[in-house]
Each structure stands twice: as structure tokens, then as C-alpha cells.
Structure 1
């Protein structure tokens, strides 16, 4: 243990020796004043000098740190992490400069998920992270625009059911889930054979989705339920489950979510044979440049192993 700490300390000092500490002052000025021009005025430097300093920092850290936004810049998720240490003083700076991936320094990892998917997968991810990397913290945020969030490094990882084809992104399928036809407890259909004609007598909920892969799935589901009358649609599976549990509405949802929702909203699964072949994929997405960061690289591997 002592030898490991000595090696870590030596690596930190070697990293620190290669950094002009004035660069960290410039980093903090750009962060606080939200722009290169404003930072230049505060430090009495030219905008060109500030830009060159930020470029030097980008060669040291595995991240672009700041992304242009309007007339200013916005910090990446990694820059937020770095700022927390720099603002606390030299001792914390030494911790932030540990790029060896030894995981003995506190750091916040930002993971984007839709709310319902987060409820299903985040407990497993949290358990795995705390087992392997106990010093890491998790920030879970909504997915607004995955390619933009990952492309601009505002989010470290995103997990959803879409396919994002941007060349700068990579993805891995974490798991495939069956599609469940759900109804409320004591629904009339539970007492009779579930046929196409019987299903056509009831109204449905629909989950609003985007993405080419889900568009194909929606088409196949339309073929299975050609007379489906949708009277309620929502972007949120929690809301959909609540409606199904309090009415005679029927709804389709992934099996893992159904397992979470069935107790809370007293749901039942209807056995409809043609639906048994349908599945939906859930994938982990990240910026390819994130693999330069040993923390994220190993975390991606752990999450894939977890599922």
C-alpha cells in the first residue's frame, strides 16, 4: 500500500512539474468569467494569449475543457470537476492532477438517462461504481440532445434506447428487453382469451419516442396492433404506468420497467403470443475522445460487465 502511494505521489509531482501553474490561473479566470475575452481583461492579457494557454491545458488533460457557446464559452463536465479542486487550493489541485486513473480522488461522473430508464438501471450502476470506485460520485441528468451533450462534453455517458449515428460517438448495447403488454389489476381482459379482436375493444397509451431504431419497432408494433386507438401519449413511462393502473387503458413497456412498475401501480402482464418476439435495446453512448480518460475508460468497461 505504501509503495503504491509513493508511486502515485511521484506521478502527481511529475505531472505538476510539466504544468505552468499560471495556466491554472487562466483556467479559473475563463471558468469564472465565462469567456476568453472577459478573462483576458481581468488578467490584463490578450485574448490570443488566453486561447493559447487553454490549448496548452487541452494537451495535458484528456478533455477540451471549454466549448464555444454564443459569445462566450461553457465548461465541460470534466472542467466542472477540475474547477472544484482548483478553487479549493493547492492541495486539492494536486488531487485533480492525478491522471493515472487510480480512483483515490473524488470526482463527479455525469450520466444522462431518460427518467424511467434511470430508475431501472442507475441502482445497478451505483452499486458497481461503489464497489470498484468508491470515491466517484454520480450526477444523473436528463437526456435533452444526446449527440450535442456528448459532443460538447456536457455529459460523460448517456444510456438510452436510441441509436445515435454521429461519427464522434461510440455505443455498446447493454441489454435487450422484452416488450410487455400491461393492464391494471382486475382488468376485464384478464378473464378472457387475449385476441386481436379483444384487444381492439380497448384504448391504449403510447410512449412518445425518437430515433430510427425505435421507429422500426413502432412500425412492427403497429402491425401487431393494427386497430390500436391511442387516447393518451406521454414521454414518461412513469406517467404511462400510472394511467394504465387507474383505468382500462392498455400499454406497451419494456420488461425491466414493468417489473419496477407492476407493484407501485398494480399492473398485470397480458399474455399475447405475437408480442413475444419483440425486443428493445438499451445502449451506453460516449464520446470516442473519452477513452483518453482512464477513469471513464475503466468505468465504461465496468458498466458493460454489470449488464
Structure 2
């Protein structure tokens, strides 16, 4: 590989609108030279660096010369039996050491607890608000340097099979052989209205329930068709006048209207802290339940950190 002296010392030399110049510039730098630079800097000498890297002092010297041709500075000057870094070399070291540490952290395959790592957990907004506080506390106790990122669930099968998301928590089921699921908890369904709803002033019956309009949570999945059918059998001839993909929207609307709605009990407990909601005691509906599961790609178990997080989440619930 040829090592070329830069013709300009401007930031525009490294970055343009589409980033191609950045790659062209890096292509002209053997990144192994940065490792050698760090070894000489940290061990304060060519001989010591050669022993650490298990290469000859001559190879170290040649690499330092190549770096001098790239950067406008001698980098190291002889001092006694070793070398001393120049001010410019100290400046480089601050950036290079951080970069190499980040790369090593990203490539770590030992499951070290002290490595920073970002894990993505996909949920709907409602489920995220319900489960992420528990998950955050449990994971941070064991893996304090893990960064958790909560993402939207668009397609469970696609997101997990293509490794776009590490984990997904959802009530929908997946059927791909490459994926696996663990139930975390189940929740009975409850009938919800606002606290001063007119239904509370009369005896509760199917006939009284038919007097009011309902909300409906819409899901882009066929896995809940049987549940919807059972709810329809429990509450026949009810009129749905509002539907939404978002339970937050449904809870807000119920809190300010005469609409009735159906939701899992834990989510109701969460929403009633934000809106004036009440649970209407209707036992036939409460016999139905929704199961929330943790989904992931089976190949993820090859990653010791991710396997550990999966165990933590399962035990947390």
C-alpha cells in the first residue's frame, strides 16, 4: 500500500457531502500503524513496543517513519534509552486511544461486564412504558455499562430474523423457526370507562352495555383474531366508533368521553394514573387474558452478554 503525504490540511479534505472522501482518506492510512503508534506512546520506546507487539524494532521504526510521512510532525524524539512524544503526538494519542478502546468494546466477544454495549429492545409505546422501567433497573444492576435503546415494533419476524432489533416484547405471536419466545406475564382484560361514566349509575347488563359506543385497538397481525372473536361473543352487537393502533390515544379518549374500552389490567393501572379512568366490573371479560412474551433470534444466544440480558429480563418478570 502506498503512503501519501496529504496535500491539504483542511477538514473539507476528509469529509464531503456523501462521505466518500472520508473513506478515501482512511484508505491511504494503514490502521495497523495506529496500533504501533499507541504501543510506542504507552511503552515509551521502540524496543519495548516491539516486545509487546512481538515484531522487530526495525519494523516499529519503519512504521513510525510512515506515520511521520502522513502527519506533519516527527511524533517521537529520542530521550535517553527511549523516546518522548511531541505535543502533536500527545494530541493524537488522546483521540486514537479513545477510538481503539471503542473498537475493542464493540468487538468484545467474552461477555465482559465492563464493556459499553448498546442493546435494542422493541416494544409498542404502551408496553414500553409498562416494562422498560423494570428492565432498566434489572439490567443495570448486572450490566451497568449497557446502553438500552427502545425501538418501535414494526414486524417481529423481520426485525429479529434480520438482526435489526436484539429483543422484542409484545403480545403478538411469531412463527418463524429461527425465533423463540418466552412468556413474561399474562394479564386479564378489563372494561374501562371514565370515572363519572353514566354506566356506573345503572345496573350492569349486556343491554346497558349496548347503549354505549366502544373503542378498538387495531393490530397489524392475525394472531389476535381469535381473541377479538371471543370478545365479540362476550359483548355482541356493540358499536365501535373509534379505533387506534395506540392504547395511549384510546385511554386519553376514554377519559374525556362516554366511550368504553377494553385493555389489559396492568396497562389500565398505568393509564388511570394519567387520566380519570375506572374499571367497570364485568367478570365474563376478565376471564380472557393477553400473554406478553419476550421474542429473540435463537442465534442471539451465541452472544454471552445478550444471553445474560435475556435471563435477567425473564427473572425480572
TM-score, reference length from structure 2: 0.69
Partners of 1:87 and 1:246 in 2: how far apart?
Answer: 57
> Would you tell me which structure has more helix in proportion to its own residues?
1
Task: Determine if the alignment matches structure 1 residue 99 to structure 2 residue 94.
Answer: no
- Shift in Å, 1:212: 3.7
Counting matched residue pairs gives 233
Partners of 2:224 and 2:235 in 1: how far apart?
Answer: 16
Q: Say whether the 8 Å CA contact 1:177–1:255 is kept in structure 2.
A: yes
Consecutive unaligned residues of structure 2, counting only runs of 5 or more, are 1-17, 29-95
Q: Which moved more, 1:88-97 or 1:117-126?
A: 88-97
In structure 2, which of residues 249, 252, 260 is the aligned counterpart of residue 239 of structure 1? 249
- Shift in Å, 1:295: 0.6
Q: Say whether the 8 Å CA contact 1:128–1:306 is kept in structure 2.
A: yes
- Shift in Å, 1:223: 0.3
1:147-158 mapped onto 2 (5 Å cutoff): 147-158=157-168
1:25-64 mapped onto 2 (5 Å cutoff): none
Corresponding residue of 1:225: 235
- Shift in Å, 1:304: 0.5
Question: Could you say if the C-alpha distance between residues 133 and 232 of structure 1 is closer, same or farther in structure 2, counting changes exceeding 3 Å?
Answer: same
Q: Look up the SS of the partner of 1:94 in the other structure.
A: helix
Q: Which moved more, 1:90-99 or 1:265-274?
A: 90-99
Q: Say whether the 8 Å CA contact 1:162–1:210 is kept in structure 2.
A: no
Q: Say whether the 8 Å CA contact 2:105–2:117 is kept in structure 1.
A: no
- Residues 227-251 of structure 1 show CA distances to partners (whole Å, capped at 9, x for unaligned) of 1100000000000001100000000
The ranges of structure 1 where at least 4 consecutive aligned residues each deviate by more than 6 angstroms after the TM superposition are none
Corresponding residue of 2:179: 169
Q: Say whether the 8 Å CA contact 1:175–1:283 is kept in structure 2.
A: yes
Q: Say whether the 8 Å CA contact 1:178–1:276 is kept in structure 2.
A: yes
- Shift in Å, 1:103: 1.5
Corresponding residue of 1:210: 220
Partners of 2:182 and 2:97 in 1: how far apart?
Answer: 36
Task: Determine if the alignment matches structure 1 residue 294 to structure 2 residue 304.
Answer: yes
Question: Could you say if the C-alpha distance between residues 259 and 87 of structure 1 is closer, same or farther in structure 2, counting changes exceeding 3 Å?
Answer: farther
Question: Could you say if the C-alpha distance between residues 87 and 146 of structure 1 is closer, same or farther in structure 2, counting changes exceeding 3 Å?
Answer: farther
Q: Look up the SS of the partner of 2:308 in the other structure.
A: helix
Q: Say whether the 8 Å CA contact 1:163–1:212 is kept in structure 2.
A: no
